[in-house]
Amino acid sequence: MKAARIHAYGDRGSVAVEEVPVPEVGPDEVLIRVAAASINPLDLKLIGGGLDTYFPLSFPYALGTDLAGIVERAGPLAARWRPGDRVIARPDPVRGGAFAEFAAVPAAWIAPAPTTLPLTTAAGLPTAAGTAWQALFETAHLKAGQTVLVHAGAGGVGSAAVQLARVAGARVVATGSGANAELLRRLGAAQVIDYRTEDFAAQLRDVDVVLDTIGGETQHRSFAVLRPGGVLASIASPPDEALARAHGVSAPFVFHQTDATRLGLAVGLCDAGSLTVVVDREHSLEELAAALDHVASGHARGKVLIRPA
């Protein structure tokens, strides 16, 4: 089969599409014929070695941590899954393997694919929806009636977070470019702030929750818009604890962990018509370099997908 691999930490140019054996399936694993995989900023960090403390890779390393596909066969302890089942999965980043024609994934990291989305589109669900859910509900404990600020609301995690917060009954404020304002309102944002022409810190006060997907100066300036006791949940970088104390807020760093139960709940929202996946573009596996470059630009609108076949 074909798979995208790296043989050492490096830049995006070090990624190669190679012929490799189809993975062996362990007793508790499922072999999935990949219909599509989704690129995440995490993939870029893994290529560059920026997360080797958290995710030490063994080389050669097969890239990819989000996929949707069809079950080819299952190990004896994974009999829940049958050949032909449509599934989505998020492999452990240390293991990777989604940017390939087949992937072997532990059964505990798999959920049924939504019935309301094309299977390829569903590949954009696991990390984006899972991260947003974990940050908003398990970390920040967002509740109905509260106000949440979602930075980069048109991105992969951001677009999922806007929808999930809306479903939970929160008032959603999102930052994004003016070109994405209509999309953000359609997803559920009550207020859209154009980061290119407007200052979110000058417009907002007493926000209950900030979902920081950017880090840096945006993260630092977000503390000032929170109410005392509010929460800044960051998926971009660990927040400044001293700054959080000075503002009387909490500021956890959200380290996404795969949870098939959580993923199944997100699938349920898709099937109920309350959650969808915003797709920026699709590329073939041979076009992976261009796809990675687009994600690295920081201007992807939703998810960038890879179709291996």
Is 100 in the same domain as 153?
Answer: no
Give yes or no: residues 19 and 107 share one domain.
yes
135 and 208 share a domain? yes
Question: Within this chain, do residues 232 and 208 fall inside the same structural domain, yes or no?
Answer: yes
Question: Structure tokens of 299?
Answer: 């201007």
Question: What is the C-alpha separation between 29 and 19, in angstroms, rounded?
Answer: 22
Provide the CATH number for the domain around residue 88: 3.90.180.10
Residue 87 lies in a domain: yes
Which CA distances in Å does 169 have to 147, 172, 224? 9, 9, 24
CA 14, CA 59: separation in Å to the nearest integer? Answer: 13
pTM: 0.96
Residue 260 lies in a domain: no
DSSP helix/strand/coil, 213: coil
Structural domain range at position 108: 2-125+277-307
* Same domain (yes/no): 159, 213: yes
Please report whether residue 255 resides in a domain.
no
pLDDT band at 66 (very low <50, low <70, confident <90, very high): very high
Q: Helices marked H in the chain — which ranges?
A: 41-48, 119-122, 126-133, 156-167, 181-187, 200-203, 216-222, 241-247, 260-271, 288-296
Does residue 112 sit in the same domain as residue 142?
A: no
Q: What is the pLDDT of residues 256-288, one digit of tens each?
A: 999 999 999 999 999 999 999 999 999 999 999
Query: In total, how many domains does the chain have?
Result: 2
Report the pLDDT value the prediction gives residue 113, as an integer from 0 to 100.
98
Are 117 and 144 within one domain?
A: no
pLDDT-derived band of residue 309, with 50, 70 and 90 as boundaries?
confident
26 C-beta neighbours (distance < 10 Å), count: 15
Instruction: Say if residue 87 is in the same domain as residue 145.
Output: no
Which residues touch 211 (CB under 8 Å, ≥6 apart)? 132, 135, 136, 140, 148, 149, 150, 151, 157, 158, 161, 233, 235
Asked if residue 108 and residue 146 are part of one domain, the reply reads no
Residue 106 sits in the same domain as residue 167: no
Q: Which of 41, 113, 125, 108 is nearest to 71 (CA)?
A: 113
Distance of alpha carbon 61 from its chain centroid, rounded? 20
Over 90: is that where the pLDDT of 137 sits? Answer: yes
Residue 236 is assigned to a structural domain of this protein:
yes
Average pLDDT over residues 190-198: 97
